[in-house]
Structure formats: structure tokens, C-alpha cells
Chains A and B, each alone.
Chain A
Amino acid sequence: MAVCIAVIAKENYPLYIRSAPTENELKFHYMVHTSLDVVDEKISAMGKALVDQRELYLGLLYPTEDYKVYGYVTNSKVKFVMVVDSSNTALRDNEIRSMFRKLHNSYTDVMCNPFYNPGDRIQSRAFDNMVMSMMVQVC
């Protein structure tokens, strides 16, 4: 289960960021922020080809001692960043992919809402619920 999930807009400002309620929230924010560099690097590396050839799932961005950071970018350069606990060895790549897919689907649902202006913070309850379901069920 993820410890922190963030949705970053194209201009690299956060649209949505939520962490598991631990005391490390600021640390997660920072990790997400630093991971953006890695995301950009991955995008530019792959981006030589056409965008549609680029895969959306970026995979493990970088591991730290305690956590692993995964990335996913949509075709509109909206980035999803997920921080998972390293001790959670049960998480396989496929599961991460499926989590990102769910995130992407929920994000598109949010987009479809005409009352949502792109660039606003995501305040959709449904999105929130979905993210919470993916977060660490520690507490």
C-alpha cells in the first residue's frame, strides 16, 4: 500500500497530494518534489520517440532506504507519484501498475466533471476515497 500519493500538474505544481497519516508528511512532500526531477529525466530520455510510443508507467524512480518512489505520467504530462514503503515487499510491479491505472481512471473521471477546472486542486470526494483506499491501512 502506498504511503503517499501525489498528482502533479504539467507545470509541476501539485494538484493533489495525500500521505498516510504519519508524521513524515513533510518528508513525503519533499520526496515527491525531488522525484519530479527523475520523472522529467525519464520523460526526456524516452521522449525522443513520439509521445504515444512512450509508456505511461515509468516504474521505480528511485529507491531510498525506507521508501521506493514510483512514477507514472499521462499523455498530458500530468504526473502521478507514489511513495511506497520499502518494507512492503509484497508489492509487485504489476500491482503498482494497477494502482496507477486506477489512479488514472479516477483522474479522468475528475477531469470529466465540468465543474472541475483543469489546474484546480482536486477536491473530488470520489477521487479522495479511491486514493484513501490505496493508502497504507496502518491506522
Chain B
Amino acid sequence: MEGLTLSDAEQKYYSDLFSYCDIESTKKVVVNGRVLELFRAAQLPNDVVRQIMELCGATRLGYFGRSQFYIALKLVAVAQSGFPLRVESINTVKDLPLPRFVASKNEQESRHAASYSSDSENQGSYSGVIPPPPGRGQVKKGSISHDTVQPRTTADPQEPASPVVSPQQSPPTSPHSWRKHNRHPSGGNSERPLAGPGPFWSPFGEAQSGSSAGDAVWSGHSPPPPQENWVSFADTPPTSTLLTMHPASVQDQTTVRTVASATTANEIRRQSSSYDDPWKITDEQRQYYVNQFKTIQPDLNGFIPGSAAKEFFTKSKLPILELSHIWELSDFDKDGALTLDEFCAAFHLVVARKNGYDLPEKLPESLMPKLIDLEDSADVGDQPGEVGYSGSPAEATPSKSPSMPSLNQTWPELNQSSEQWETFSERSSSSQTLTQFDSNIAPADPDTAIVHPVPIRMTPSKIHMQEMELKRTGSDHTNPTSPILVKPSDLSEENKINSSVKFASGNTVADGYSSSDSFTSDPEQIGSNVTRQRSHSGTSPDNTAPPPPPPRPQPSHSRSSSLDMNRTFAVTTGQQQAGVVAHPPAVPPRPQPSQAPGPAPHRPVDADGLITHTSTSPQQIPEQPNFADFSQFEVFAASNVNEEQGDEAEKHAEVLPVEKASDPASSLRVAKTDSKIEEKTATSAPANVSKGTTPLAPPPKPVRRRLKSEDELRPEVDEHTQKTGVLAAVLASQPSIPRSIGKDKKAIQASIRRNKETNTVLARLNSELQQQLKDVLEERISLEVQLEQLRPFSHL
């Protein structure tokens, strides 16, 4: 609250009123009863009364303390005089008449009259209730027979005898507070009995010897009198609790003197300050606190450990419970140590407490320590921004460990300073541009070999990368082997790139993919990875789960797909492998269909024969190419696996279903089976068949063979029994498998269909693998998060 200047008469009047309302002598007047009567008697409209109550802070505190009451009374006077109710009006409006309380309160009027008459007897009659406030009319003081209020006469330290001395009208502004502190020791009483807040005031009373100056200050007039206070402040021997301040007071003298002249300015400033902030620390207060802080901890950015703070504040002779509460309020980050801000807040609270202000339940905003990137307590402009939280219970350590808010700041620093961090932060953003370098780097980067086995651990590899980069950059900037340098000419970017490359490769290795999409255009590097993986998969088809082929379109895509087939084939049965082995060479013979016409012409004949014999639908004719293919394939397979007839049959059965044609396929199958059987009997057949055998069978064929082996086998068997005779004839004619032009189309269509099926299978596989990748990535992220969480703890 800003300073409330009251004239002597006002002072007296108010105190009387307060005593009148303070029935229980608790020095806290609850907002009911006589206070309300009083206010109603003031003949002010209700809302004005409410406003007054709000302004004086009673609503905030829930009751009328003495100061609040006085302010309220002053406001009543202001309102009655017709001035607008504002906080500043309390002090700015001079020569305000005393608030008039029209009522049947004759006592009040009489009191009023008495106060005006400065009747000491009246006061004396109340002396038992209220000791007149100190620092007020000196004349009256002299006449007051109150024990405690014999400041001017004698420095009588009869503090215990004094009930609560009214708090000074003005809230504890800095000079006041200091003066109070001053008074206290000047009273020569270092031992302040803890009989409640009362004793706190008594020293003020007895220190009123310089109260003339106090008055001057309060009325906001001449500076020189305040200086007396400062002088006395400095002169008092360091005997009391707050004497720790006194050594500083010597230093403060100069500041104080200069400040004294500014005291009035401060007063005015305070008066004009916003009312909502009674806890605001003024400049000189803050300066004082800072000086005190320095006495304990020279480094302003450091901490005051709890024990030192405890000693310091214990000297203030506040009860331990209150000090404990003050500590709780002011130790904002709960680290057991006080920063400068926290110390100032605690000091301020101590001062306020000693002046009778009750401690708030929670820290007022203006006292909260400033945190970087967090609070912006705008109204406290004079508080310098402190470094902020520190999680570590520092023992007056000058440097704070980076906490959450400071991390935000250190990140950019780290980004600039450490290339590693920079790369991390930059990776995602500039990955697009980086990818262009990746391909360049990949061949020139000898570290790819190093990176791969280390999927996640970026730092060591990055360091290594940077070393390499440094070497490279140091060697020759125009080195064509380091194409990175061409574009960006600073090291950081290169390192960025390197690390991004590393990251990419690391990722690749870790996940089996290049996780970020930006690396899609990184064919070479990935190609290198792929080769490794491919070799992996080639050697051990059923190794770790995620060594699937990269989802990147590869020039050798078909190859990879065939590899997939390899894997799947290997998984299925060993029997297939023979057929599998047959397949890779199957791919090149794409122009087989061209050769197909060769044997194709033979086909129709066979087909006819088939038709006639099997009496199946004419669909057989178009199926002939398939038939031919099958036969070729089957011959091929037969040639490979001649001994295992069961396998052959199975293979045939699987080959056949490729077409997915129901009857024709089955018939063909039957034919094939029979042909197979025939071949078993006749060894010459294979020769013929092999001639026509065109490994036209695309890779998917074996898959389908396997997949549908069971399905096809059954009907196959049935038909087999039925049409053995027919098939025998068919088989006989099989050796010469003609290929018609229509068959070409059919073959192409068939191959297209087969390829489509391959695509679907691959797509399914791809999706499954993508899912696996996502899961692995999620795991990785969660692990990283856990690591981050654990890492700060390691500092503790």
C-alpha cells in the first residue's frame, strides 16, 4: 500500500474509531458489527462503501487491520468530500476534513470532538485500549501518558508492557521499514519479547525521537529530516537482531542519503502505483536487499544456502514458525537455497511481517522470482530477471544447472556451438537440401562402413564424421571428393550434412529403412545399405525380422522382388528351392513368348486333342498357351527333380493353379499330372518337354503353386483318376508344344496376371513390414524419451 499520510488529528480520530470498532481488541476488525455501522453512518451510498472496502484491502484480507481501517476512513473522508475514490486520493487530497459519521453515535462525535480538541484525557481514557500511534503529533505524544508511547521523553524500553502499538499509517515503505529497524536497535533492546506483534511496534514508538523526520517523510515534504533517520540508522550500534543490516547501513548511508532526497519522489511514486500490489518492492528496498544478499553471497547469481539464510532471518526475531512459512513462500523452486530474487522476496516478507502485515498464503506475484521464458511479472519492472529455476540444491554455486526454462535458451546456444546439436535440430529442416548431398557424400564418405553397425549412437560417429569432415575440409576445400564443400562453404553445414547422413545411415541400419522420407532420393547410400541387406537376406533368408528390402524403388526392383520370393520360397519348403533356383534365370527369358510361337503351333493340336479327349469346353484352346507353359515348366521342373515324383506332382499341381482357371486349369493340370506321370514312365518325354520348356514361369508362379497346392491337389486327384486315359494321349503329344500367336497374348496376359499377383503379395508384405517399422520406430522413440528422462537425474 502506498503511504498514507494522516494529519495528527486524523490520526487520533482514526485510532479512536478503530478502537471503537475493535471490540475484542484483537487489532483486527471483522467486517461486521460496528464497522458496518460506522460506514453506514458515513452516509455514503452502498456501492461507495463497498468500493472503499475493496480499496483498502479489507476484502482481500477478510478483515480490517488497523492500516486498512485507516485507509478506509480516509477514503470515507475522500468520498464525503466529493473526490473520486482512488487510491492516490488518499494522500493527494490534502486538507481533507475528517470523515463524518452521522449517526446516533454520540460517542463518535464526542470522540471526534475530543480528538479535535486534542484532549489528552480522552486519549488517556483510551490509552488502555489503544496506544496512540507513534510518530504522529509529537506534541500530543508528549502529553500522552501511555507507557509505551514515551519515545521522545525516554528511550524507555518497556516493550513488554505495551499492547499493540498502532502500525504506522503508511505501509512499510522502505525508509519506514528501515527506520523501524533502526528504531528497534536504537531503543537498545535487542531482545524483543515475542508477545505477538505488539512488541514490534513498541520500538517504533520509542524510536520516535526522530519522528519529526518521520512526519516529514510521511507528509512528503522536506528531505533533510529523513536524512536524520538515515543518520540515526547508521549510528545505532549493532546490538540487535537486525543489526546485521547495520554494517551494511554504513554503505547504505550514501545510498540512503541520496535516496532520502528521492524518498519523497518514492512516496509520490508509491502513491501513484497501482494499489493491487502491496507487496511491491521499491527500488531502495531492493537495493538494500541486494546489499544484504551480497554480504552473505558475493555472487549475485549464486545461492544462499538454507543454513545461512536461516541464521540471517533468525536474527529478525520472528518466530520460527513464521520464518518457516516465509521460507516456504519464498523458496520458489524448493531447492533449499535462495536466489537473489527469492532472498529479496523473503526479506520483504520478513519486513512486512515485522510491520504487522500478515503473511499471505501464497507468494504475491510481485515477489515471485523471475524466470526466463516463463513469468513476465510486468508490474515489477525493477526486479532484474534472474536465471531461473535450478533443480539442484546448489550450495552457493555461481552457475546454475540448466533447468527447463534455461534449456530453451541453451538449446540455441548448443545449436550454434555444438555441431552435433545443430545437426539434430537442422536435420529435419534441411533434410531436403541435404539429401542432395547425401548421394554425393555416400561414395566419398568412407564412414558409411562405420556408421552402419551403429544404428542409434550418433554422437561418436558424428564426432568421427566431423573429424573426417575436418580433415577433408582442411585438406582441400575444392576437393571434388567432398562435394559438400562445394555448395555450403561452412563447416557447420557440412557437419550437418555429415551427421544427417550419418543419421540417415544410422536410421537405415537401425530400422532397415531410411526412416525420414527426405532421404528417398538417396539411392546410392541406400543402395549400399540394400546391398548389405540383400547379402544378408541372401545368405540367411530367415534372419532378423526387419531386413526386408527397402521400400525404395530400385532399378533392380524385380530383383528384390525375386529375392523376396527367394525368402518366401526358402521358408516354405526346401523342395521349392530347386524350382526357385530355376526362377532367377526365368526372368531374363522374357522374350520367351517370342519363342513360344515356335512350339505354340503345336499346342492347338494338343489342345484339340485335349478337347476331344477330355471333352472339355473350348476354353481349352485359349488355355493352351498356359498349358504349354505349364508343360514347359513342368518339364523343366521334372528335369530338375526327376527322382522325387511326388514332388513333381506337387510342383505340377502348384504350377497349374497359377492360371486360376477352373476347368481348363484343372484339365491342364490333369494333363500335366498325367504328363508327369507319363514322364515318369517314359524318360524320353522329358527330353521333348524340356525342349519346349520355357522357363516362362514368372517368379510368382511358385508362390501360387505353394499356396494353392493343397487346393489344387484335391481336385487334381479327382480328375486325375477320371481322365487318365485322355491324359495319356495328351501327354504323348505334349513333347511338341506348339505356341500360337493367340497363345502369345495369353501368355502375356497370364504373365501380367502373375505379375499383378506378385504385386499384391509384395504389397501385402510391404505393408506388414511398414507396420513393423512403425512399431520399431515407436519403440525407439519411447526409449529415447526414457533416456532423456533419466539423463537429468544423473546430474543430481
Contact = CB atoms under 8 A, between A and B. Distances in A.
A112 B334 contact: yes
A125 interface: yes
Contacts of A114: 306-307, 309-310, 327, 336
A115 B324 contact: yes
A113 B334 CA distance: 8
A88 interface: no
A16 B327 CA distance: 19
B386 interface: no
Contacts of A51: none
B359 to A, nearest CB: 9
A116 interface: yes
A123 interface: yes
Nearest to B335: A112
B325 A112 contact: no
Contacts of A113: 306, 324, 327-328, 331, 336
A116 B307 CA distance: 11
Interface in B338-363: 361
Interface string B298-329: 00000000110110011000001101110110
A116 B325 CA distance: 10
A119 to B, nearest CB: 14
A125 B335 contact: no
A126 interface: yes
Contacts of B320: 115
A126 B306 CA distance: 18
Nearest to B338: A114
Nearest to B319: A115
A115 B321 CA distance: 8
A125 B309 contact: no
Contacts of B331: 112-113
Contacts of A125: 325, 328, 361
A109 interface: yes
Interface residues of B, number: 19
Contacts of A74: none
A109 B328 contact: yes
A62 to B, nearest CB: 34
Given A112-B335, A112-B336, A115-B323, A124 B328 contact: yes
B324 A112 contact: no
A18 B314 CA distance: 29
Nearest to B320: A115
A118 to B, nearest CB: 13
A130 B334 CA distance: 15
Nearest to A122: B324
A-side interface size class: 10 to 19
Given A109-B334, A123-B321, A115 B327 contact: yes
A17 to B, nearest CB: 18
Contacts of A112: 306, 331, 334-336, 393
A130 to B, nearest CB: 11
Nearest to A114: B306
Residue among B306, B314, B393 with most chain A CB within 10 A? B306
Interface string A99-131: 000000000110011111000000111100100
Contacts of A124: 324-325, 328
A44 B336 CA distance: 32
Nearest to A123: B321
Nearest to B393: A112
Nearest to B361: A125
A116 B334 contact: no
Contacts of B323: 115
A125 B329 CA distance: 10
Contacts of B313: 115
A53 B53 CA distance: 59
A131 to B, nearest CB: 14
Of the listed residues B314, B321, B325, B328, the one surrounded by the most CB atoms of chain A closer than 10 A to its CB is B328
A97 to B, nearest CB: 18
Contacts of B328: 109, 113, 124-126
Contact of A116 (B314, B324, B335, B393): B324
Contacts of A126: 328
Nearest to B321: A123
A71 B463 CA distance: 51
Contacts of A129: 361
A113 B314 CA distance: 13
Interface centre among A108, A123, A125, A129 (most CB of B within 10 A): A125
Nearest to A115: B324
A113 B393 CA distance: 12
Contacts of B336: 112-114
A81 B542 CA distance: 56
A94 B498 CA distance: 47
Interface string A71-93: 00000000000000000000000
A122 to B, nearest CB: 10
Nearest to A109: B334
Interface in B569-597: none
A5 to B, nearest CB: 19
Contacts of B361: 125, 129
Nearest to B336: A112
B742 to A, nearest CB: 73
B393 to A, nearest CB: 8
Contact of A115 (B310, B334, B335, B393): B310
A123 B321 CA distance: 7
Nearest to A129: B361
Nearest to A117: B320
Contacts of A109: 328, 334
Contacts of B327: 113-115
User: Which of A113, A115, A116, A126 gathers most chain B CB within 10 Å?
Assistant: A115
Nearest to A116: B324
A123 B324 contact: yes
A128 B573 CA distance: 73
A108 B331 CA distance: 13
B671 to A, nearest CB: 70
Contacts of A116: 324
Interface centre among A113, A116, A129 (most CB of B within 10 A): A113
Interface of B: 306-307, 309-310, 313-314, 320-321, 323-325, 327-328, 331, 334-336, 361, 393
24 contacts: A108-B334, A109-B328, A112-B331, A112-B334, A112-B335, A112-B336, A112-B393, A113-B328, A113-B331, A113-B336, A114-B306, A114-B307, A114-B309, A114-B310, A115-B313, A115-B314, A115-B320, A115-B324, A115-B327, A116-B324, A123-B321, A124-B324, A124-B325, A125-B361
Given A112-B336, A115-B327, 17 more contacts: A108-B334, A112-B331, A112-B334, A112-B393, A113-B306, A113-B324, A113-B327, A113-B328, A113-B336, A114-B306, A114-B336, A115-B323, A115-B324, A116-B324, A124-B328, A125-B325, A125-B361
Question: Sorted from nearest, which 9 A-B pairs have the closest CB atoms?
Answer: A114-B306, A114-B310, A115-B324, A112-B336, A115-B323, A113-B327, A109-B334, A126-B328, A113-B324
